[in-house]
Chains A and B, each alone.
Chain A
Amino acid sequence: MIGKDSALPTASPPSAPRPVGHVVATELKPATPYQFHFWTANETSIGIGAIVRVEEPGNGKRETGNEIRETGNGKGETGKVVYGVVTDGFAYSDLATPLHDVVGAEGDPARAAESPTARQEIRLWTAAVLRQIPEEPLQPVPLGRVHVATDADVARALRMDAYLGGAHPTAIPVGLYTSGGLEAPVYLDADFLLGPEAAHLNISGVSGLATKTSAVEFLLSAIFEHFPPHKGRIAAVCFNVKGPDLCFLDQPGTLDAEDRRRYERLGVPAQPFERVRYYAPFKADGANLNTLRTHAALVGDVEPLVWGLREVLDFAEVLLNRDDIDAKADAFIDFLADRVVDKEFADGFGNVHRVTTFADLDKLFRAVFDGLELAGRSDTWRTHHIATIRKVRNRLANISTRCKGLVADDGPSNDLPWGRFEDRAVYVVDVANVDPLGQDLVFARIVSKLREHLERRDLGVDAVMVFVDELNKYASADGPDTYVRKMLLDISERGRYLGLVLFGAEQFRSQVHRRVVGNAGTMVFGRMDSDELATPGYQVLTPATKTKLATLPIGELMVRHPHFTQPIFVRFPRPAVLRGRDGVERFPPAADLPFEDAVVRQLVKLDRRIRPNQVKDLIADRLEQDVRRALATVRQTHPEDPLACLRRQLGARVEPEPARGAVPPLAPISEEPY
């Protein structure tokens, strides 16, 4: 007699957590070294993305070579542990064919739910192996008990134990893995996120959910807090390419208790960035800033981004379209850059020029054209044909027109603090309202300068994260081979050696150049478009994972990282900074000021003692271009007395000539025509 009275399951002792499932293997669905299947109760906390632990049943002995060792835990288990992540789920009943349900309900769907007994159902899950311990010999997953992963299990399963501890931990929290009431922080390895082992992060997701921007903002906070001291100093340069997304990183946002708890769990302070520097070009008037951060309370922090001839000429290739790029134009631009700009230059017609601005350059061009015409000489000047000269002149003039505000015709430039980058600072460059040509110029120049300084190790920091949204536009897979795209490819492929790390974001990963996304060591996915998920790049994901990605709530991400053998779903708290949309409501952008008021505002920013009337009196009747040039010099030199400096720059007022008296006509003009 083997009677087993009362088969109701008994509670396991507290020390032995109850398994949530059991591995099964059939001929059609076998367990392999990289995949297994298990069933759970119908009511279970397991879902797609859940991490589980499988313990091998056995006698506690393992054969190794010629000997049999005690390896178990004393509970009959051999000690082999397999970690997996659920990638697919199935539910079915013992219904042999749908027809049987029709027959049972006599064709009435309403009666189908009224059957007195619920059919036996199964919840069957497919899991991909994350890690086996021991890792050798690599064998099929044992048909053991399945447990929900604990914090420690998650760390081991994702191989985070390699970088969480030790003398130089390099863990950067990216979010919380949550499943079945358990919650475990997930960390990225700084060596693989920011170099030198691997680098770059790419984030994809549909627009409008603020997931991409929020994720990057949170991740920047986490990096600033957890960046390993032995790796030096780090900063971020963020290009704000649309709306007010990144305009309020220094302002606190609204967080609920759950967000704060998550921040605490992840060890990241729930506060906005301490050091944020904003840069934005002027509008075409050269006085009002071209940004949405123009509220009176905030605009004082925004530095104008103004570039002159030298800055533009170095990146002329960015600004010239494909038709312009020929050897003659290149040669002439190189000639200007090498021989003319910032030098005393004789034009050969008796004039000496010192070209430092677009205005100076135009004077030179006019002198050359006049000289050639008056001299009646050939149509060649310094071996350059006059047509080439005219073409380059037109293109450069076009730049200063299209990028007016960013590119100054005259006056000094104002730029990022090259060589003086601060540790844990965010440099936001707002080019949201700049002409696409200007955006390309800004992007190309800033990234090139970053690279240049990082190569010389004189930037002020050891690593820089460059956040670029809309990679679909800047590094399109099938678009023209632009300078910007070439540069992004260059960063992707070689930036990690320099500490130049690209954080790229886009809506459609499939439409970004494959080498840009392919070189990203860490991939992050927010909610995805179904059409995008149908592209070949997502073939490795199961249908269930794709469905989850297509319906992912705000605040949840799927992360791929070199240490994780499978994608992991994590939740991250809302960024502790003011969202762009909320920012423009709380700090509505100010209307454009009249030129005089805009000048006043800039001077007051330099010296609060200055009274508006003093400035207005000073610039009354002055040409705006003269005021702009003088103001730019004041801004650049940061004098103790800005007003006095402005007065000096403007020079003495030239009194207008008195109006001549009207000369009476020789004979009165009669209204009579005859």
Chain B
Amino acid sequence: MAALRSWKDAMVAAGAVAVSHVPEASLGRTDIDEVAGAEPVEDSGLAAHPVEQGAPAPPAIRFLDGIELWKVVYYDGVLPIVRAHVAAAVKSRGADRRLRTADEAGRDCFVTSVALLRPAVRAVLEASGLELVDLPQEEASQPGRALEAARRAVERARVALEKQLGERCAERLGPDEWLVVDGVLSESSVLAGHPRALAVIKSHGAQYFAGPELERALTVSPGNRTSVFRPRGRARHEVYSWYQRLWPWEGNDVLFGLLRVEARAHADTVRAASRIGGWLHRERAPLATPDARWDRLLYPIHYVETYLKARAPRDLLPAPGSRLPKTGT
């Protein structure tokens, strides 16, 4: 026992950080595993900058988030028929610190490969009154592939809805209002070019650095941000970005409390990064518990998500354990 303790001490002394984490929740998108690359904007290399502690938040901020819920509700032969619900909402926060719904939209649909359905089943689905989203036949040839295709289709629907709502909101923003989006700005030219739109990204599947710069990015201290950089890779519209740490990661995981922020690709963004980082830092409170991602999830975003889930169709929400008494069988 004494030997084990001295080995742990030696690891820490050598520069390793002791952590305790089950990495599943912080994996982020699994479909992006390459290093996308980044172009320095603020500094020649990636450096750490303190955020402006106490920087006042804008008097009014709108927060946008969306949800997607789906489940297989039928099989036609071995073809899964997925029932899906996507929704997005914008909540506005004013001087009273309360969040109120400013805009929302939702969409209910069936997702399947229509051409592979038997005519009778297809007729019933078409008569259901819900939209029918078609999957290409080649992606639905096997149940497993069909489900993955359905998942992507539902995700696309959600992203499209968020984009639609975000753009509508950006057009209506008041002169002192900001829009904070859960996700990325780079999917929309309107949002990517808006001077008062921000995106906060919680998952870090896509990496933009390697080696010592990656270490500096992922181990930035709480209350600090990295230099502003221009992400490369699959982004459709150019934005600036920086990493920012909300909570100490030591003792948890290297991605714990780490956000990536996206804003307009403009010189003003570089000038305002520390100030924006300052008021984002204050968004740590209240904690977005009981969500497991509370270390990176801003409470207003969590609130929008809770709101959308509360209004979602009950049959698509994860079923709680049966409350009926168990029988002998």
Contact = CB atoms under 8 A, between A and B. Distances in A.
Interface string B88-99: 010001001111
- B57, B98, B102: residue with the most chain A Cβ atoms closer than 10 Å: B98
Contact of A6 (B103, B131, B299): B103
Interface of B: 57, 89, 93, 96-108, 131, 279, 282-287, 289-290, 299-300, 303, 306, 323
B105 A95 contact: no
Given A8-B102, A97-B289, A115-B97, 8 more contacts: A2-B107, A7-B103, A103-B287, A104-B284, A104-B285, A105-B285, A115-B299, A116-B93
A2 B306 contact: no
Contacts of A258: none
B85 to A, nearest CB: 9
Contacts, number: 74
A96 B299 CA distance: 13
A7 B286 contact: no
A120 interface: yes
Pairs A-B, 10 closest by C-beta atoms:
A104-B285, A115-B285, A3-B105, A118-B97, A96-B290, A104-B287, A7-B101, A100-B287, A96-B289, A100-B289
Given A104-B284, A120-B303, A4 B106 contact: yes
Contacts of B106: 2-4
Given A4-B105, A7-B101, A27-B323, A116 B287 contact: no
B105 A111 contact: no
Contact of A117 (B99, B103, B290, B306): B99
Interface string A66-99: 0000000000000000000000000000111100
B101 A117 contact: no
A562 B299 CA distance: 51
A671 to B, nearest CB: 109
A119 B99 CA distance: 9
Interface in A1-25: 1-8
Contacts of B107: 1-3
B103 A95 contact: no
A101 interface: yes
B306 A94 contact: yes
A8 B289 CA distance: 27
Contacts of A112: 285
A20 B318 CA distance: 30
B296 to A, nearest CB: 14
Contacts of A5: 103-105
Q: Is chain B's binding surface mostly helix, strand, loop or mixed?
A: mixed
A117 B97 contact: yes
27 contacts: A2-B108, A3-B107, A4-B105, A4-B106, A5-B103, A5-B105, A7-B101, A7-B104, A8-B100, A96-B289, A96-B290, A100-B286, A100-B287, A100-B289, A101-B287, A104-B287, A115-B282, A115-B285, A115-B286, A116-B93, A117-B97, A117-B99, A117-B286, A117-B300, A118-B99, A120-B303, A120-B306
B306 A111 contact: no
Nearest to B298: A117
B70 to A, nearest CB: 15
Given A2-B107, A117-B299, A95 B286 contact: yes
B285 A111 contact: yes
- B102, B107, B287, B303: residue with the most chain A Cβ atoms closer than 10 Å: B287
B286 A101 contact: yes
A165 B257 CA distance: 69
Contacts of A100: 286-287, 289
A8 B91 CA distance: 11
A101 B89 CA distance: 26
Interface string A115-137: 11111100000000000000000
Nearest to B107: A1
A116 B101 contact: no
Contacts of A103: 287
A118 B285 contact: no
Contacts of B284: 104
Contacts of A105: 285
A472 to B, nearest CB: 51
Nearest to B109: A1
Nearest to B88: A3
